[in-house]
Amino acid sequence: MKKITITKQQAGKRIDKFLAEEFFLYSRGEIIKKIKDGEVLINMKNIKPGYVLGDGDIIEFKNFSKEKNNKLIANDKIQIQILFQDENIIVVNKQAGIQVHPSHNEKINTVVNVLINYFPEIINVHDDSAGANLRPGIVHRLDKDTSGVMIIARNTKSFKELKKCFEERHIEKKYIAITEGTFEEEEGVIEKPLARSASYRKQVIARGNTKTTIREAQTFYKVCKKYGKYTLVEVCPKTGRMHQIRIHLASIGHPVVGDSIYAGKKTGEEQIKAKRQLLHAKELKFTLFGKKYAFIAPIPDDFREFLADIDPALN
């Protein structure tokens, strides 16, 4: 029977949602059934799907088969731009519309599936956490509809070191975004703690009555150019929370154009112009094993097309 000990950072989540995140190829409904069937114990006791995890809780579970649709399949049908590779890392320019690693909803059309076609050796580059074999080499993530530069570890040594660099915030990240509205300040910092929503599908700005785990979040922004009712901004997140840039910008009244979750429903011309959230991971800088790296992902075509539509001078 496998065990997981909950850390302080993991505490505060419901057990069913936590396991659905850890075991990507099981749906939440399947996880709930296993809990109800007594296949999940907390501190050697049966629990309900709504049990909220505490720091130090020990989860024991059985019949979570690693073989259940859990084999990674190389995908040679999708191309991805490789910006750089050496013996330690692979750097890609991820296109919008492709998720980073497999889940129970998508098992083949992901960055991981594409990369193991080029670099099959990364299959064994991961830690021992549940479901880690489905995200080999992955040390950070981008949302499915966010494009831009990503680093993938090519061996266990670089995997551990890069994870440490991200955790200790030694990696400089720069994004660009096309946002709604005109900023009053040319640059600034957004410091608002974040927490998962009750559905766990998105983030919310944490309040005094927030029940899920609250995490600090800090985002710097700088206006690059104004385009009427839109603004091109450069954004530097100092923390790496899920959806951080998107919800932080939305919280100050400047959601990312095309963001279906945080910008609200859009209709008409704008909906046609922006097929996805116009957020792009432009640049990464870091030092690995004493060597300095800097990578820039070219601005994608849909950014240029949107800006050209609203500023004919760019054509």
Which candidate in 16, 57, 143, 302 is catalytic? 143
Q: What's residue 282's pLDDT? A: 98
Q: What's the pLDDT at 169?
A: 94
Q: Which among 191, 190, 201, 203 has a CA at the least distance from the CA of 243?
A: 203
Q: How many CB atoms are closer than 10 A to CB 229?
A: 11
What is the arithmetic mean of pLDDT over 54-69?
A: 74
Overall average pLDDT of the 3-12 stretch = 86
Q: Please give the pLDDT value at position 156.
A: 96
Parallel/antiparallel/unpaired status of strands 230-237 and 218-227:
antiparallel
Strand pairing partners for 118? none
Q: What does the pLDDT look like over 151-161, one tens digit per residue?
A: 999 999 999 99
pLDDT higher than 80, residue 199: no
- Mean pLDDT, all residues of the chain: 89
Give pLDDT, residue 309: 84
For the segment 236-255, the average pLDDT, to the nearest whole number, is 96
* Structure tokens that stand for 99 in this block: 């998720």
If we measure between CA atoms, which residue out of 56, 47, 59 comes closest to residue 21?
A: 59
Q: What are the E-state strand segments in 121-229?
A: 147-153, 172-180, 187-191, 194-196, 203-205, 214-215, 218-227
Alpha carbon distance 138, 152 (integer Å) = 5
The answer to whether the beta carbons of residues 185 and 175 sit under 8 Å apart is: no
- Catalytic residue check, 302: no
Q: Where are the beta strands (DSSP E) in 169-289?
A: 172-180, 187-191, 194-196, 203-205, 214-215, 218-227, 230-237, 279-288
| DSSP β-ladder status, 147-153 and 279-288 | parallel
pTM value is 0.80
Section 33-59 average pLDDT? 91
**Residue holding tokens 């910092």?**
189
Does residue 66 carry a pLDDT above 50?
no
Q: What does the pLDDT average to over 259-286?
A: 81
Instruction: List domains and CATH numbers for the chain.
Output: 2-61 (3.10.290.10), 81-167 (3.30.2350.10), 172-285+301-314 (3.30.2350.10)
Element (H, E) at 293: strand 291-296
Q: Are 260 and 279 in contact (CB under 8 A)?
A: no
The model's pLDDT over 111-145, given as tens digits with 9 standing for 90+, comes to: 999 999 999 999 999 987 767 888 999 999 999 99
260 pLDDT higher than 60: yes
**How far is the C-alpha of 153 from the C-alpha of 124, rounded, in Å?**
11
Which pLDDT band, with edges at 50, 70 and 90, does 4 fall under? confident
